[in-house]
Every structure is written in C-alpha cells, then in structure tokens.
Structure 1
Amino acid sequence: MSQATMTKDTAPTPAPVAPSLAGKRLPRWSPIGFGALSLALAVGVGLAADWQSKVQWGLIAAILFVVLTFIASSAVEGTRQAKDRVATSFVWVCFLLAIIPLASLLWVTVSRGLKVLDGYFLTHSMAGVPGFEVGGGVYHALIGTLEQVGLATLIAAPVGLLTAVYLVEYGKGTLAKAVTFFVDVMTGIPSIVAGLFLLSIMLMFNLQPSGFMGALALAILMVPVVVRSTEEMLKLVPNELREASLALGVPKWRTILKVVLPTAVGGITTGVMLAIARIAGETAPIMLLVFGSQLINTNPFDGAQSSLPFYIWEQYRVGSEASYDRAWAAALVLIAFVMILNLVARGIARWKAPKTGR
C-alpha cells in the first residue's frame, strides 16, 4: 500500500457541528410576542367565560405563555432548547407573580395615602378631633413609634450581637445547643405571646402602661432575628482572617473586635434593619401594653402612647371616609419609615465595609 493511500485512509474525520449551535433559533422578540399573544388570549377567555377577576386573567396568561413558548421552541429549536426556554419562562412568570401584588399594594397605599399626607398631618395629633371628622394628624403616633422602636433596638441589638458572637466564636457543647434551640423557638413566637408575657409582669408588679413596656415586648421579638442574621454573617467571615490575626499574637477578643466584626458589619447592619422592620409594624403588644393615646406623649416611661400600627388599626376601626384616609396616610408614613431605615443601613454598611485593594 502506498504512502498516499495510507495518509488518505488515516486522515481524521472532522467533528460534526453541534445541532444546537447550527440549528434555527427563535427571534429575540419572541418572548415579548408570546407574552402579548398570551395576554390577548387570556383576556378573550376571561370575557367569554364572564370572569371578572383580573387575577384569573393573569394566571391564564401565565400558563398560556409557558405553553406557547414550549410549543414554538420545540418546533423550531428542538426539545432540549424548548425545555431550557420553559424553565426560563417559568422563572420569569414566578418573578412577575411575586412583583405584581407588591406593586399593587404600593400603588394603592401611595394613591390613597397622598390624599391627606401633608405637613399638617405630620405635625398634629388627634387631640380634640372626632374620629369620623376630617382633620387631625399622626404626629403623636410617629413619636411613639420612634421612641418604642428606638428603645427596643437599644436593648435587642447588643444582646443579639453578643449572643451571636458567643455562638460562632466561643459556643461549644450543651449550652450553645440550648441557646441555638431557644433562639430558633423564639423566632416563631407570635407577637401577642410576648405582649401577654409583659402584661403578666405588669399585673404582678402593678405597673402602668407605657411606651417602655411596649419596647420590651418588641425587643423580645427582635432579639432572635438579630441573633440569626448576625450569626450567619459571622460564619461567612473566612477563618484565614482569624488565623492570621491570632498568628500575629493578637488576643481573640481583639481579633473579633477589629477583624471579624468589621468584616461582617454590612450584613450585621442589614440584619438589624430587617429586625427593626419586623417590629415596626407590630400592633398586638402596643394594644396590650401601651394602650394608645390621642395626645402627644414624648415620655415613653410614663403614660400611654400611640404608634403608627396602632393608629392605623384605630382609624380603620372608626369606619368613616376621613378615618380611612388617615389610616392609608399613616400606612404610607410607616412604609417610608422602614424604607428610610433600609437606605441608612445600606449607607452605613458601605461606609464601614472594609476597603478592598488590588
């Protein structure tokens, strides 16, 4: 056999091009087209079946969108690519289903709350204003919320932070397991239980209702959230940083203070803000321990106080058009309060975060 024949016979065969790379593909605008077609079909089905709920129309449109995407992709791109597109479509549908209620809630709150939300509403209380009449404001409730949440944070944040440091850096054995167990149990405690616990103490020692008693109940609800969030953030700090600090002869307490906590300060701050948002909307402890008031009380240690959640419930209970407007405006103030706290937390976390270099 000649050398030319051997070279020809042993020449490698070129690898075939993968069909997924060389095959046809749907145009980029296809998801938008499928979405519009699904929405149109869903509206038609809803009108034909005489369904008045827009939620039903949306669910039908979501199902049709996934089905149409799978059928078209299977016919053009193949089954494998169709499955990938269906998974992507399902993710987008779930995202929209989660966003729509939140956006709707925010839109209703803003549109109805802006009717009476002005400088007068923020700087006046309900003293001397009947609940069914126009007028009055939210100043007394805003002061109560700021003081009660502030006191609860001053109590719960250090306790939760130090507990998390103990569990991550020192905790071993039965005590650490017991603390972890009770923290997990406290995470699911209803707010009314914390209120009843403090109410029993008030009755035993003949204490009067005050904003401080409400702050104690809110602190009980806040501690487990701070502990869990801080614990997870501390676990994310690389052990190499601890070992490097200890290798230089730095004591463990100073390593925690100067290395571990500054590294995790962003996550810790975010966790504290989430805990504040958790307690800022609680109503049951305030009803049991603070009682509410129509007057301005700037002393949280003496006398009844109001709060934004209690004010919202109180105004909604009145049942008049004016009270409904005040309730929605107070809800908008509460949302703005939580949003501002989160923005401040992000700013502090970015400011205090350790600087990274090349």
Structure 2
Amino acid sequence: MSLLDERPVDETPVPEPQDPELIEEQVPFRPRALVRSERIEILLAAAAGVTGSGVMCLLFDWTHVLTFAIWALLIFLVSIYLLARDSQSPIVATDRLITTLVWTSGGIAVAVLAWMLGYVVVKGIAGLNYEYLTSDMSKVGPLDDGGGVFHALVGTLEQMLIASVLSIPIAILTAVYLHEIRGRLAGIVRFVIDAMSGLPSIVAGLFIYTVWVLQGRGPSGLAAGLALAILMIPTVTRTAEEMLKTIDDGLRESALALGAPQWRSVMQVVLPTARSGLITASILGVARAVGETAPVLLTAFGSSSINWSPFNGPQADLPLYIYQLLRQPNPAQIARAWSGALVLVLLVLILFVLARVIGERGARVRGGSR
C-alpha cells in the first residue's frame, strides 16, 4: 500500500455555486460617498454658478428667475468639469460631469413636481372644507359665491367605474394573448395597442360623440366612460404585459409538465401569481384617464347638479368642473376651481401610492416564491 492510499480523504462538502442574480440581491448597491475634496469642489462650483449668473444678470439687466437659474446651472456644470480636470484627470472630470448631469436632471424633475404640487395646494387649500365637498353648483350663479364639488366627484367615480369595468378585462386578456398565447395576430394586435397609446384623447371623445351621442342616445356618464375606456386599454395592456414578463417560466413549465393545458396554466398559475401586478396596471390605467377633460366635454357635456344615473342625462366630472369654473369671471369661482384641482391631484396621488404599495408587495411575493 502506498502513502497516497493511506492519506485521509477530505469529506468536506463543496459549496454549490450561487446564482449571480441572487448574489446581486444579497449585496445591495450603495453609492460611493463623496470625499472631502469632492465636496469642496461642488461647493466652489455652486458658488461660481450663483456668482457668475448674478453678475451676468446685473450686466445685461436680466430680471427673470428662470434666466438666472439656467445660467447658474451652466456655469456650475462648467466649473465642476474644470475643477475635476485640474485636480485629477480628464477622464475623472468627464465622469464627474455626467454624474452631476444625472443628479441635476433628477433634482430638476423633483423640484418641478414639488413646485406644481405646492402651487396647487397653496391656491386650493383655502376653499377645501366640508361644505365644499358635500354641495354642488345647482343654485350658484356665475357671479355668486359658494358651491361645491360633490356632483363632479360623483360623476368622476361613476365614469371611472364604467371605464374600468369595460377596459380592464379587455386589456388583461389582450396582454395574456400577446405574452402567453402569441398567436399569428400578435404583431397586428401589438401595433394597434402601440397606436392607441399615442391616440389624442379628443379623438376618442369625437369617436364616441359620433357613434353614440349623435345617434339619439344623448350625452351621459356612460358615453364618457366609453371614451375613457378607449384611453385606458393601451395603458393597462402594456403594463399588464410587463407584469406577466416578471413571472418565472418555471411555473408555466411545471404546470404544463403536470399535463395541464395552456389555458388552465394561465388561469390557475400565471394570473394568480401576477395578481398584484395586474391590479397595479389597472390602477395606473385609471390614473391615466381620470384627468382627461376633452372626452368628457364631448360625451357628458357637464352639469351643475348631481346626476346619480350615468345612463341618462349630462354629468360632470372633476376635470370638466375645473375647466368650466376657470372660465367664470368671479374670482371666488376661480378659487373653487383650484380647490377642485387639489381634489383631483389628491385622488391621482392616492391611486399612484396605492399602485406602488401593491406593486412592491407583489414583487416581494414573487421574489419569495423563486
């Protein structure tokens, strides 16, 4: 027997290689913190931007705030690049410039959104009270004070309910056909959905006005719901298709391996797994259509009183209510229009927050099932 045969055998189990995607999930990305010299360079560049823009505004007699901000941003970016190039290298300077552009673009987007929301809140919060939320405009003249938004809120909820009932099943079935079935007409259907995504809302309103209102049925909340459903279908379809793409193919293959037909695999495996994503897609579709004015103007015509029946007679909604009040000569009515805009913004924010919460919960569930 040789010495090699007497050597003890190492029975320690060899660890299996981990999936790179799992490693990325276990080690979250953390951006690199700025060192002291980089912070000083950013402060110097910001000071140069503000000072340089102020000097140019004084020399050329510029008084607009936007002009000052644009020149300050340009000088700030140039200063960032020059300081980084002087202290390190052109490659680092270019990287610093691109990074600053990305952060600046995100900051501008957030600032514009915050400015818009703040402006609506400041203009509309004064008139937002219980009386405003529970009364309508049926006994209010163009020059009178008073009135509320209740009739428009009722119309908005009823019209969006009709649009959701009509559009969401069609959109989800279309998404299933595009991603799961992939039949011969999938290319044509996808082209139609893409074309509908860019359809102006007034065209949808004109279509329903021609085939519904002018055919003797008259304006109604149902007609407005039909027009809004046309606008919701592409949004819900595209979002639902993206949600279906997140479902692991192993679930489909397991169902098919057990002998289940494709329709049963879709109905009992794919759709239940993607439930939260499909709910998110539906909410995003509602949020996209709830702010439309032109289709409702052409199909529901608007009303100053509460119309509980969406199937008979004109009906108001929030965007149309805002549009009509902004045309009034009375400053009090214009202030009520801003309060209506605040109600609409709050409604849309609630929908987006709800979609985000449901989407994150669904992502955790799908991640835990892998």
How far does residue 35 in structure 1 lie from its aligned partner after superposition?
A: 2.0
Q: What residue number does 1:18 align with?
A: none
**1:297 and 1:36 mapped to 2: Cα distance?**
59
Give unpaired runs (5+ residues) of structure 2.
1-34
TM-score by length of 2: 0.85
Q: What residue number does 2:300 align with?
A: 290
Q: What residue number does 2:352 align with?
A: 342
**1:280 and 1:136 mapped to 2: Cα distance?**
22
Please say if residues 214 and 286 of structure 1, whose CA atoms lie closer than 8 Å, have aligned partners that are also in contact: yes
Q: What residue number does 1:217 align with?
A: 227
Cα distance change on mapping 1:53 and 1:258 into 2, 3 Å: farther
Please say if residues 26 and 77 of structure 1, whose CA atoms lie closer than 8 Å, have aligned partners that are also in contact: no
* Pick aligned residue for 2:167 from 156, 161, 170: 156
1:26 is paired with a residue whose SS is: helix
Please say if residues 284 and 351 of structure 2, whose CA atoms lie closer than 8 Å, have aligned partners that are also in contact: no
**Larger deviation, residues 127-136 vs 348-357:** 348-357
1:218-275 deviation digits (Å, cap 9, x = unpaired): 0011111111111122123232221122223333223223332233334333322221
Q: What residue number does 1:3 align with?
A: none
Q: Are positions 1:329 and 2:339 aligned together?
A: yes
Q: What residue number does 1:227 align with?
A: 237
Give the letter aligned to residue 238 of structure 2. Answer: R
**Larger deviation, residues 344-353 vs 109-118:** 344-353
> Sequence identity, in percent?
41
Give the letter aligned to residue 342 of structure 1. Answer: F
How far does residue 203 in structure 1 lie from its aligned partner after superposition?
A: 4.8
How far does residue 331 in structure 1 lie from its aligned partner after superposition?
A: 0.6
**1:289 and 1:95 mapped to 2: Cα distance?**
39
**1:86 and 1:264 mapped to 2: Cα distance?**
41
**1:288 and 1:357 mapped to 2: Cα distance?**
48
Q: What residue number does 2:177 align with?
A: 166
* Pick aligned residue for 2:98 from 87, 101, 104: 87
Q: What residue number does 1:8 align with?
A: none
Q: Are positions 1:311 and 2:303 aligned together?
A: no
TM-score by length of 1: 0.87
C-alpha RMSD of the superposition: 2.0
* Pick aligned residue for 1:281 from 265, 274, 291: 291
Give unpaired runs (5+ residues) of structure 1.
1-23
Q: What residue number does 1:14 align with?
A: none
**1:198 and 1:209 mapped to 2: Cα distance?**
10
Please say if residues 25 and 77 of structure 1, whose CA atoms lie closer than 8 Å, have aligned partners that are also in contact: no
> How many pairs are equivalent?
334
Please say if residues 213 and 219 of structure 2, whose CA atoms lie closer than 8 Å, have aligned partners that are also in contact: no
Q: What residue number does 1:4 align with?
A: none
1:32-87 deviation digits (Å, cap 9, x = unpaired): 44224312332332233221221111111111111111111111112221111111
**1:233 and 1:97 mapped to 2: Cα distance?**
29
Please say if residues 197 and 234 of structure 2, whose CA atoms lie closer than 8 Å, have aligned partners that are also in contact: yes
Please say if residues 172 and 240 of structure 2, whose CA atoms lie closer than 8 Å, have aligned partners that are also in contact: yes
